[in-house]
Amino acid sequence: MLARQTVSRCAACGAVLPIATSSLEQCPNCRAAIHACRQCTHFEPSRRFECTEPIPEKITDKNGRNQCAAFSLRVTVERDASPDSTRPSDIRRGFDNLFKK
């Protein structure tokens, strides 16, 4: 079984961000704003104003820093498939199981 880890990634470059930080203003890798709509848990392009939270007006720059009170850094659970996390035979068996009939 693959190990799972909780991570937050930059929406612009995919770099792993520290989860429990409120002082981080920019991605250390690409300098994208962290307190921006695209980095938020509530960002959803198919919703009104592209947000799942009720906000009074649309924020036009989704990549730029904003002062939205509903902001919450997006955190996801990923499977860790690095060579140290599992035995190679487990990875191969999982891959083979994908294509069984």
Each residue's pLDDT tens digit, 36-49: 999 999 999 999 89
Burial class (CB in 10 A: 0-12, 13-18, 19+), 38: middle
- Say how many Å lie between the first and final Cα of the chain, rounded: 21
Render pLDDT for 43-83 as a digit per residue (tens, 0 to 9).
Answer: 999 998 999 999 888 888 998 999 888 888 888 888 766 65
* Residue 43 CB neighbours (<10 A): 19
Residue 23 vs residue 69, higher pLDDT: 69
98 has a pLDDT exceeding 80: yes
| Rounded-to-integer distance, Cα 74 and Cα 18, Å | 11
pLDDT at residue 46, rounded to an integer: 92
pLDDT at residue 18, rounded to an integer: 79
pLDDT at residue 21, rounded to an integer: 59
- pLDDT-derived band at 1 (thresholds 50, 70, 90) equals low
pTM for the structure as a whole: 0.68
